């Protein structure tokens, strides 16, 4: 099962413009690194990883640093492969897309069917009812998610 981030385009509720970004390893991003990020308009991550790739490539020309630069380059490409889709979703949010839902499904077709079938009675993710965590004045302060457990 794969989780899919559902992003709605800015100012338009057209279902054809809804984007599903899977949260899994991106093989093309692993193989092509910064170029995959730049092609998917994740500019900041793309340019930073491109600069790091150039630095590792130049360091590889020195005999004493060749092994270290190869390992660092492999580690960078692994990081890009694991985080590329998240960086793509963050870049889309910076462009105005809104995260509407997270759907867990075996494939994209099932995720789309589940999302659009549930869309009629769907409420936005940010519409939370105040609970124990929302009442910060009366409960002891914790860290983040621990606020609701401290009152029990």
Q: Which of these ranges, 60-64, 76-80, 121-125, has the smallest mean pLDDT?
A: 121-125
Q: Tell me how many degrees the CA angle 73-53-68 measures, rounded to the nearest 5.
A: 35
Q: Which helix (H) or strand (E) holds 42?
A: none
Phi-psi sector, 48: left (phi>0), alpha (psi -120 to 50), beta: alpha
Read off the pLDDT of residues 13-35 as tens digits, 9 standing for 90 and up: 777 888 999 989 999 999 999 99
Is the pTM of the predicted complex or chain greater than 0.75? no
Q: Which helix (H) or strand (E) holds 151?
A: none
Local confidence band at 38 (pLDDT 50, 70, 90 cut-offs)? very high
């Amino acid at each position: 099962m794969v989780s899919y981030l559902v992003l709605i385009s800015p100012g338009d509720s057209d279902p054809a413009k809804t984007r599903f970004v899977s949260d899994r390893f991106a093989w093309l991003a692993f193989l092509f690194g910064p170029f995959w990020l730049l092609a998917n308009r994740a500019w900041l991550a793309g340019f930073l990883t491109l600069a790091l790739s150039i630095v590792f490539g130049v360091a590889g020309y020195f005999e004493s640093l060749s092994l270290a630069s190869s390992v660092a380059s492999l580690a960078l490409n692994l990081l890009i492969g694991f985080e590329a889709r998240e960086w793509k979703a963050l870049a889309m949010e910076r462009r105005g897309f809104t995260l509407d839902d997270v759907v867990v499904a075996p494939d994209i077709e099932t995720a789309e069917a589940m999302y659009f079938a549930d869309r009629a009675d769907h409420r936005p993710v940010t519409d939370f009812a105040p609970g124990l965590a929302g009442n910060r004045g009366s409960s002891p302060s914790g860290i983040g998610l621990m606020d609701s457990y401290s009152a029990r």
